[in-house]
Amino acid sequence: MKQQHLVVYNSLTGSKQAFEPLVPGQVGMYVCGVTVYDYCHVGHARVMVMFDVIYRWLINLGYTVNYVRNFTDVDDKIIARANERGIEMNALTDEMIEAFHVDADALGCLRPSHEPRATLHMDEMIAMIRALVDNGHAYVADSGDVLYAVRKFSGYGQLSGKNIDELESGSRVEVDEGKRDPLDFVLWKKAKPGEPSWDSPWGEGRPGWHIECSAMSCAHLGDSFDIHGGGMDLKFPHHENEIAQARAANHGDFARYWLHNGFVNINAEKMSKSLGNFFTIREIGERYHPEVLRMFMLGTHYRSPLDFSDVAMDAAKAGLDRLYETARRLGLKQHSSDNVSDSFAAAMNDDFNTPEALAALFDVCRRINKNLDSGADVSADMAAFYAMTDMLGIVQQDAQAWFQAGDVDAARIEALIDERNQARKDRDFARADAIRDELAAEGIVLEDGANGTGWKKV
RNA sequence: GGCAGGGUGGCUCAGUGGUACGGCGGAGGACUGCAAAUCCUUUAUUCGCGAGUUCGAUUCUCGCCCCUGCCUCCA
């Protein structure tokens, strides 16, 4: 059954739905970014990569996409880290945002249309909080904090599929003195001495975490927009609270489709900073090309858990090498746009099923190799091959460089290859094999082809 | 405890009411002086367990076992 039109799994309804944007031809998409106090780990990478693929596919479908991904650049952890390091908060967040971009670029992620920072949207946040206070959805507690009254919002719990009473019965939340309800959350936090703060109708303070996303998404995309995404762990309470704030303050529906990606696990356990079982993108980058990490992620559907391991990364590298091998045989890349195979398109249209899309890519890859072997025409398949790899954001490097990157003395290798080929011509295979073994010991593999001998680093 | 998502070959990962996609790995073959790469063949009578519905279930229903996540900050 071919899927001609995009169907997405909407966390809000718990089912797959045909995707129909609010405005035909246009998509507004907001993805929760990161809190910038440290380097990104593999879990963050998954959000970046998967929503990058979604972004690319939406564009391919012909939509004009307004893709917004925020930076949380003020919060407790940031302040604590800045104090630890003895630097200003902004110095820390600027540094981490730059690092974020380096990592995202390395992973081959396109830049979003907008990357708003919380600290640059104080006016919007304060306006939204004021609206909530004015219409009775928020109140000023004895502590001076402004809190959101969850009981005043009838739809609370719709996204996470919970109701307030259930949440409270199993709640681990400490009951705060000033709260009218244990689930009430902070909209505006009164400043403590020495903390960064902004002026507001409720005195000096700073915004709560949830309000920034409500305010920034609506500021860039309007009170109603199409897609809101992020990691599964943000579903509750973060996204639930975003909905409560935005719908109570504005008149729109807020986000209509909610997309949540699964976690990255280590030994079947969630990778997280609190558990300390995480690898940063940079650490992985020392052992694997970032594109291997991307390939690894594409092999699993975005909503499923993804178990990170060296074995899995090695397998991803082997598969990616095979694609690069084909790219190398094809030679110069022919740019193409919408030549993806039908099965690839069907897979992507079915809630961005990248594992199935990869299967479609490998089908074409195999056919190309076969036809290249037999000398048949591959032009149509080549266009499809590159259209699909571009859509997935893989095979973006020069194929020759992919295999020959690293610390190698190419001139010396070429010289040895010449020497070996002379030996082969002289049928001195002992000498020829000795040279090959010598290079193999250095991780250089020789390949004798119809057009001479090539080499690659493994 | 409540809610959510899982358990598919050596590993990994899709999928479907009619005996299972792809990748990695293994085996055999073609090619090669030998390799490497590539191609071909092959690698699950079987989809956690038990029952039910059905002509037929891995796919639907029920029960059970196990795993993970969320319910607090977390992508």
Answer positive or negative: Cα dihedral of A236, A242, A245, A246. negative
Q: State residue A357's pLDDT score.
A: 97
CA-based nearest residue to A72, from A91, A96, A52: A96
| A451 Rama class: left (phi>0) / alpha (psi -120 to 50) / beta | alpha
Task: Please name the residue that has the structure tokens 């499923």.
Answer: A304
Q: Is the CB of A166 under 7 A from strand B?
A: yes
Q: What are phi and psi of A49, to 5 degrees?
A: -70, -50
Tell me what the mean pLDDT of segment A145-157 comes to.
93
Answer positive or negative: Cα dihedral of A302, A305, A309, A312. negative
Report how far residue A30's alpha carbon sits from residue A51's, in angstroms, rounded to the nearest whole number. 10
Answer positive or negative: Cα dihedral of A129, A133, A136, A141. positive
Residue A165's pLDDT band (cuts 50, 70, 90) = confident
Query: What is the CA A440 to C1' B21 distance in angstroms?
Result: 35
Is residue A173 pLDDT above 60, yes or no?
Answer: no
Residue A131's pLDDT band (cuts 50, 70, 90) = very high
* pLDDT 10s digits, A199-227: 999 999 999 999 999 999 999 999 999 99
Tell me what the mean pLDDT of segment A37-62 comes to.
96
Task: Please name the residue that has the structure tokens 């897979």.
Answer: A347
* pLDDT 10s digits, A366-383: 999 999 999 999 999 999
Q: Is the CB of A300 under 7 A from strand B?
A: yes
Residue A2's pLDDT band (cuts 50, 70, 90) = very low
Report how far residue A422's alpha carbon sits from residue A432's, in angstroms, rounded to the nearest whole number. 8
Other CB atoms within a 10 A radius of the CB of residue A161 amount to: 13
Are the C-beta atoms of A118 and A74 separated by less than 8 Å?
A: yes
Residue A166's pLDDT band (cuts 50, 70, 90) = confident
Strands A254-261 and A224-231, sheet pairing: parallel
Q: Is the CB of A343 under 7 A from strand B?
A: no
User: Which range (A118-122, A179-183, A227-231) has the least confidence?
Assistant: A179-183
Q: Is the CB of A372 under 7 A from strand B?
A: yes
Query: What is the CA A14 to C1' B17 distance in angstroms?
Result: 23
Residue A452 bridge partners (DSSP): A449
Instruction: Output the 3-class SS for A271-284.
Output: CCCCCCCCCEHHHH
Query: What is the CA A369 to C1' B57 distance in angstroms?
Result: 38
Query: What is the CA A361 to C1' B46 distance in angstroms?
Result: 27
Q: Is the CB of A47 under 7 A from strand B?
A: yes
Answer positive or negative: Cα dihedral of A240, A245, A248, A254. negative
Q: State residue A175's pLDDT score.
A: 60
Report how far residue A416's alpha carbon sits from residue A132's, in angstroms, rounded to the nearest whole number. 75
Q: What are phi and psi of A404, to 5 degrees?
A: -115, 10
* pLDDT 10s digits, A384-416: 999 999 999 999 999 999 999 888 899 999 999
DSSP A232: G
**Tokens of residue A111, six digits:** 């830049």
Q: State residue A408's pLDDT score.
A: 86
Q: Is the CB of A223 under 7 A from strand B?
A: no
CA-based nearest residue to A80, from A234, A236, A273, A271: A273
Q: Is the CB of A338 under 7 A from strand B?
A: no
Q: Is the CB of A86 under 7 A from strand B?
A: no
Minimum CA–C1' distance nucleotide for A450? B32
Q: Which of residues 352-371 of A touch strand B (CB under 7 A)?
A: 353, 355-356, 358-359, 362-363, 365-366, 369-370
Question: pTM for the whole thing?
Answer: 0.96
Q: Is the CB of A272 under 7 A from strand B?
A: yes
Q: State residue A1's pLDDT score.
A: 36
